[in-house]
């Protein structure tokens, strides 16, 4: 039987009781050790919020290019506003010089950005003001409401992570209060022309931060995860279910106990060209940029010493942003 991403219900974890979430924490730990990915159901995010965000996103991307381009993102690695086609090539983050990814997007960060926040973190480019389109009118309120839902879901997942690592209840709570999490909406248009060699909807990469919460339409040309054996595993989900994965920061934090796996967004097979467009919603959860990331308690021992020197969360993420920038030049 072909392997599939584990599907885990969060129902017993929503109230935050440690004893009730024991089975969930064990399943999450096992899936993160092997694949770095799992699917969640019963997560508490209203279907109405998901549907409203998807509908508003599609309406935004259907706007004329000159309207979208009025809020074009200008900062490399910290996208705020419209991300035009040809801007990103995610495989560059792993040193693979592929053609640009076949997508466009929209990005936003924390709704409130203070003047001194970048100076405190020492990574000014990661704190940029958000840009919003004038139309559709439902876009901004829908996206902001969804962002808040993701903040709340992150609290649940981080409590599960603490249980999985046998850390005290609430261990991660303060570490994510002043977070620098970003939200990205990706639009993958139908393939009007044959892709260039090595060109994908999103090239193979690993995520930068602590965890990612993703919802994508289940249509041809979707998310694939690289298994430890080197096979690409399609991530098939039901409507309103999320895919969760960890990024490089959490792999570092856990001393490689958990795996930050390569993943990509494949092109539809040629028989489905030009196919349909596809939208995905991705929340990239990052802790306070000034937080020191050092090996978590219990993730090292006499036979497994700490493998990484301590560094701030902002510095770790910024290193990868700069590596991607260098590869693109």
Domains of the chain, residue spans: 7-328
Determine the distance from the C-alpha atom of residue 172 to the mean position of all C-alpha atoms in its chain, rounded to a whole number: 18
Query: Looking up tokens 């060109």, which residue turns up?
Result: 199
Query: Looking up tokens 């050790």, which residue turns up?
Result: 33
- Quick: pLDDT tens for 222-265: 999 999 999 999 999 999 999 999 999 999 999 999 999 999 99
Across 198-212, average pLDDT: 95
Instruction: Assess whether the previous peptide bond of 188 is cis (omega < 30° from 0).
Output: no
CA nearest neighbour of 36 among 200, 182, 199, 206:
206
Q: What is the pTM of this model?
A: 0.94
Are the C-beta atoms of 20 and 11 separated by less than 8 Å?
no
CA nearest neighbour of 232 among 270, 273, 204, 194:
204
The CATH class, in words, for 7-328 is: mainly beta
Does pLDDT of 194 surpass 70?
yes
Q: What average pLDDT is seen over the chain?
A: 91
Describe the strand order of the beta sheet including 7-9 as a list of residue ranges: 7-9, 37-41, 242-246, 211-216, 278-285, 182-188, 104-108, 81-83
pLDDT value for 318 = 82
Lowest mean pLDDT among 51-55, 214-218, 225-229: 214-218
Lowest mean pLDDT among 42-46, 121-125, 320-324: 121-125
Greater model confidence, 116 or 324: 324
């Amino acid at each position: 039987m072909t392997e599939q991403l584990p599907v885990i219900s969060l129902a017993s974890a929503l109230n935050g009781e440690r004893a009730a979430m024991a089975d969930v924490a064990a399943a999450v730990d096992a899936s993160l050790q092997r694949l770095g990915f799992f699917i969640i159901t019963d997560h508490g995010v209203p279907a109405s919020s998901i549907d409203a965000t998807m509908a508003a996103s599609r309406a935004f991307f259907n706007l004329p290019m000159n309207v979208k381009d009025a809020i074009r993102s200008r900062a490399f690695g910290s996208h705020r506003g419209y991300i035009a086609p040809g801007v990103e090539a995610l495989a560059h983050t792993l040193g693979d010089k592929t053609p640009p990814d076949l997508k466009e997007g929209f990005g936003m960060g924390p709704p409130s950005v203070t003047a001194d926040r970048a100076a405190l973190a020492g990574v000014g480019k990661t704190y940029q003001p958000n840009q919003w389109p004038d139309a559709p009118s439902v876009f901004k309120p829908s996206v902001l409401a969804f962002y808040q839902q993701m903040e709340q879901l992150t609290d649940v997942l981080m409590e599960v992570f603490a249980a999985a690592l046998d850390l005290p209840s609430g261990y991660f709570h303060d570490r994510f209060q002043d977070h620098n999490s970003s939200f990205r909406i990706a639009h993958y248009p139908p393939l009007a022309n044959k892709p260039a060699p090595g060109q994908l909807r999103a090239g193979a990469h690993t995520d930068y931060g602590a965890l990612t919460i993703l919802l994508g339409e289940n249509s041809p040309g979707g998310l694939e995860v690289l298994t430890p054996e080197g096979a690409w595993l399609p991530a098939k989900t039901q409507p309103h279910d999320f895919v969760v994965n960890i990024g490089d920061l959490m792999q570092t934090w856990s001393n490689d106990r958990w795996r930050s796996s390569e993943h990509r967004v494949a092109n539809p097979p040629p028989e489905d060209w030009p196919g349909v467009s596809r939208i995905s919603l991705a929340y990239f959860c990052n802790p306070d940029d000034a937080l020191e990331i050092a090996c978590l308690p219990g993730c090292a021992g006499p036979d497994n010493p700490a493998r990484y020197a301590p560094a701030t969360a902002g510095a770790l993420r910024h290193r990868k942003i700069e590596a991607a920038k260098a590869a693109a030049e």
